[in-house]
Chain A
Amino acid sequence: MTLYHTAQNIEASALGQAIRESTWLFPAIESTHLLALALLGGSVLIISLAVLGIGLQTPPAEIYKSAHRYMNGAVIVLLITGILLGISEPVKLYGRQAFWVKMISLVIALLATYLAFNPLVKRGASGIGIRGVTALTLAAWLMVAMAGRWIGFS
């Protein structure tokens, strides 16, 4: 079975149909997705700006202690709502370049955040390395948001 057939099967599923045919479900999930996006932006930025020396003057590791809960919560909500949105129109997504750009950026953003950015911040790292990782992480998340919005236009 090809990926395209899988997309067709998901589209025909009961859940996919329910979200697609309901008036309120898709907008409600979409709105929750956006609220979580704002929370993710805030929790990543509050640490990043401190790392880059242009935000809070508190050590980033200290900021992380509060911020990481919101970051993790936002990522979980974004993934769940994102998957629900995807289930409702997978055939359309399959054919959209913006969707694949978003998925690739998402993988990069998640890897950069959880394998590099967070561990370095927790360890209290400083210098050019952590700054570079921060810039990459921010750029990747912005790409995810931008490509995500673009799915609706392409």
Chain B
Amino acid sequence: MLEGLITKLADTPWSIGLHESLYMYAITESAHVMSIMLFVGTIAMVDLRLLGISYTKIPVSQMLSKMLPWTVAGFVLLVITGAMLFLAIPIRTYHSLWFRLKCLMILIAAVNIAIFTFKVERDKAAWDLGPVPRKSKICAVISLGAWGCVIVFGRLIAYNWFDCDSITSATMAGLTGCPLDPG
């Protein structure tokens, strides 16, 4: 069903227009990269504070309240430009192994953010300027690792190593949702 939807998406004038535009795709891609600086950049600085290895004289509460709005702004820009990039090349991206791994990493990062927001930072008043607890460090490491993978996997979507026409094993066919060409 999802695949049918994506095939329909690929036939919309929006998709074709973005794909065939001389400049719009490049502008969107460039904006996506610049938004990474804002989003991953600011979240990395917060994570370094939550690890307790940098910015230790700045209260955790200030770091979260003053930096995270910028992180959210970066995220909004990434989602908008990311959706446009997907819309431009829907079918190939949907089957891309790297795109699927990227989505998995975003999911892991999102769960990590939920755990941090609803559990870990609850008692942050107790460690606002003191040594950070282990739970905070664990969240920070997961965040840095997951977002780092999102950047790398995102970049690798551009390479055609695992495109549908080069799938030869049932495992890869399963992972990419590509039809397995017998022989």
Contacts and interface: CB of A to CB of B under 8 A. Distances in A.
B128 interface: no
Interface residues of B, number: 34
Contact of B70 (A31, A34, A55, A58): A55
Contacts of B56: 66
Contacts of B155: 27, 30-31, 34
Interface stretch (A38-46, A81-89, A107-115, A127-135): A38-46
A34 B36 contact: yes
Contacts, number: 108
A52 B57 CA distance: 20
B41 A55 contact: no
Q: Is the interface of A mostly helix, strand, loop or mixed?
A: helix
B151 interface: yes
Given A43-B45, A45-B42, A57 B37 contact: no
Given A42-B41, A56-B63, A31 B151 contact: yes
A31 to B, nearest CB: 4
Contacts of B63: 56
A145 B67 contact: no
Contacts of B180: none
B173 interface: no
**Top 9 A-B pairs ranked by shortest CB distance?**
A41-B37, A42-B41, A41-B41, A38-B40, A66-B54, A153-B26, A149-B30, A31-B152, A42-B45
